[in-house]
Structure 1
Amino acid sequence: MTTNTHPTTRPRGDGAAALAFLTPSILTFLVFVLAPTVGVLILSFFDWNLLSDGTFAGLDNFKRLFTDERLLGVYGSTTYMALVILAVNVVLGLLLAVLLETRMPRWIRAFFRLSFLFPFVVSASAVALIWRFLLNKDLGLVNYLLGLTGLDRIDWLGSSTWAPISVIMVNSWKTIGFSILVYIAGLQSIPKQLREAAIVDGAGAWTRFWRITFPLLSPTIFFLVVINTINSFQIFAEPRVLTQGGPGDSSRTIVEYLYDRAFGDFDLGYASAIGITFALVLVVLTAIQFWFSRRWTHYQ
């Protein structure tokens, strides 16, 4: 008896079909990602204001980054808001997802899932406009409800203390639904037999969560940490609509500052340098998170 030892050959049409399916994505990446990135990199070495021919400036735009005191403050406010938004989405999102997966009527779970997910699919500008009215110091519903409880009105959008908090609340309210949805998918992928076996062994709710749910959910948590880190550092619509980055720069983000330099001051070369360095910062943060994830996986 003889066996066929020749490897199975791939049909000739598979390569062409794969290329046909990949072509739209490849073209989209080349046109809308790679080409603009290369253009911004080139532009960062020029002094150009949109109205005249650009002049080569070498590394001058990058040198300005180290003397721009305002830029350091904007990085500080961006980091503060981004880290709080990240914590809310990752920690509170997990808590809400676990609560939604507890035993309750199906229609109640469906209602709350829809309630959390709906803001995520709405335009960020529309969400910010609605909350701008709700957080109005004199006419806003939030301050009206605070007044009913006897508390003083809060200048949500005009105070350097409360303005970044307002941006954090609005952005978290809009984006937490995505984290909850991903967490629910991760929770549903965990075999029920493991939890049932733990219950039989007498493990409590906290022990089951810490010993079973959390370790098996760690890839989902890592994914959400990376995605939410990138997204929270790039927020633009909420501070732009709610506070215009003020008062001062207390709620201004890097993306908003970049926009002001490019289309407010028409200093596109310097704005491009800010964009390039900001992209490098995000790459470094993502690399650190991947390194930590590998260490955590090895530790487990």
Structure 2
Amino acid sequence: MSRNAERRAGAPLTNPRSDRVRSVRALARRSVRMQSGRFLVEGPQAVRELVRYAAPSIVDLYVTAAAGERYAAVLDSAYAAGVFVHSVSDEVLAAMADAETPQGMLAVAQQPEVSLTSVLAGSPRLLVLLQEVRDPGNLGTVIRGADAAGSDAVLITDSSVDAYSPKVVRSTAGSLFHLPVVTGLEASATIQELASHGIRTLATEGEAATSLADVDLTTPHCWVMGTEAQGLPDSLATQCDQRVAIPIYGKAESLNMAMAATICLYTSATAQQPLAPY
């Protein structure tokens, strides 16, 4: 880390058993995140996107000397945004982190307050609603895929894994900071609210009579995805406007939920924003 960066970062933190270190590490627990409203952002890629798109939410940023040199551009952006950066030893960062290899950098951030009302006020055209998604990797992959497909928001029910758990945050690769993510929703009530705003709901179902290729995706709609193992409950699928099957041309029995969501979102994006001809 340069001398100038060291001055701005303050004296290095070297005690891995300090109260500060324990309080940061405690954010790996959902109960602590819920109580504090804060969460961990680990690794230079995620921190870079956090600084770029949500710098006001950063409480503290921690970086080792080696990472400070390697990712100087991230730190320069953080300083420019008024973020206070703490220089820490490798042992301190390892004690703070949930990840085995946080690559020398992590931040503590305040969870954003995003509501379904605020999302609907923006007249969204493409949404995805996730019901009882329990696998952190799957949830993170859906958020990342939704971001790449240009979705307006990701909606998550209260029975799903915490979107701000360290594993989910890492698996989004920074996409968590690119689009609204609404948590704590009740599926049936959300489907009703979407309908009242003229947003069609499409339930994915392996045995549905309508194929993905035959659905009109040019109007505002929301894909409704179920659990990894059980799929969407029939009570919710019935409540949706249409049931849609993703065709499988090979011998695979089914698709992973995150894969299915990404396919549906990209098909929607193509229908709503046709690619320019070569």
- Range into which the TM-score falls when normalised by the shorter chain: under 0.3
For normalisation by structure 1, the TM-score amounts to 0.21
For normalisation by structure 2, the TM-score amounts to 0.22
Flag the structure with larger Rg: 1
Structure showing greater relative contact order (alpha-carbon pairs closer than 8 Å, 6 or more residues apart): 1
* Greater fraction of residues in strand: 2
* Greater fraction of residues in helix: 1
